[in-house]
Structures are given as structure tokens and as C-alpha cells.
Amino acid sequence: MSEKKILEQWRDVAYDESADKGKLQKFWATYFNIEKGIYEQLLENPDEVVTGTVKELAEKYKQDVFTMTGFLDGINDSLKEANPIEEMTEDTVVNLGFDKEKLYKNMVDARADWLYNLPQWDKIFDEATKKRLYLEQKKSGTIVKGPKIGRNDPCPCGSGKKYKKCCGRNA
């Protein structure tokens, strides 16, 4: 792989709007299967911080550097210490020391049920914890609106006037 930013190369292929939809679907299906395999291995020893160059990790998980770059892009938000993925080359030293709760929540957020339902999670969290983390993540994206202000209610700006005679006029 060239010294060009490999993350840029990954994103060009993975998020190519002009690509054939069938090929892109096949690309992602293949990638998700590979991703699942890497996570199965990582979750077997969740406290072990795997480190090495991008190339070494690709070899460790029997992948090419290009695919490993996609994996590193995906896990980066769940790491205790983020990797320099924007400037990364195959010789960049990276680590896979992930925050377990954050990783689980990010998998839920990505709607990646094939990942957050992996049996390896059962050794890390009990059912109650998994349910709590799942609900916390789902609720974090929920927008809660305040109570609706009626026309004849006091204006929330504190003027003492009715809403319809104050801020409600501008609305």
C-alpha cells in the first residue's frame, strides 16, 4: 500500500456514492463478516490491549492493510486512547485498547446487532448490564421536548404578560 493516507483510500471505496449499489452491498457484507471475526477475537480477552503497526495488526487478524484500516476507523471512537487514523500509514503504531461500555454502546448506536449480540459479551457483562447499556444508548438519541406553551399561559421570558401578547406574537 502506498504512503498515501490509507484512511482516505478506505473511505473513497467504502463510501463511494457513484459505485454500483450491488458491488457496494457485497463490499459491506464481506467487511461486516470480517469485522465480526476480529471483534470475536478481541472480546475473548477484553482487558488485553492489542498494539502494533497497522500492517502487524492486519497480519495478526489475517487481513490486508486496507481492511484493517476500515476496522481501525470503526473502533476509534470506542478506544480509551484514540489512534491517529487521519495521518495513519501501514507503519503507524496503533492500539486497540477499548472502553468496554463505550464499545457496546457504539455497536448499539450503529445498529450492529451482529456485534452487540456476540456471545463473547456474555462473559463481559451480565444481562442486566447489557440491557442498561442498550437503553442508555437508545435514550441518548431521543429528543425530549419541553411542555407546549399555551397562548394564555404566562410568557416564559418572565415579563408577566400572557404568551400571546409577548413572545408569542413573533412566533
CA distance 17 to 137: 29
pLDDT above 70: residue 28: yes
Residue recorded with cell 482516505 = 8
Q: What is the pLDDT of residue 83?
A: 94
| Residue 55 exposed, middle or buried by CB count within 10 Å (0-12, 13-18, 19+) | middle
Provide the grid cell at 81.
Answer: 486512547
Average per-residue pLDDT for the chain: 91
Assess whether pLDDT exceeds 80 at residue 2. no
> Does this model's pTM top 0.85?
no
Q: pLDDT, tens digit, for every residue of 35-81? A: 999 999 999 999 999 999 999 999 999 999 999 999 999 999 999 99
Please tell me the predicted confidence (pLDDT) of residue 62. 95
Q: What percent of the chain has pLDDT over 70?
A: 96
Q: For the chain, give me the number of helices (H) and strands (E)?
A: 8, 2
Rounded to an integer, what distance in angstroms lies between the CA atom of residue 5 and that of residue 23? 23
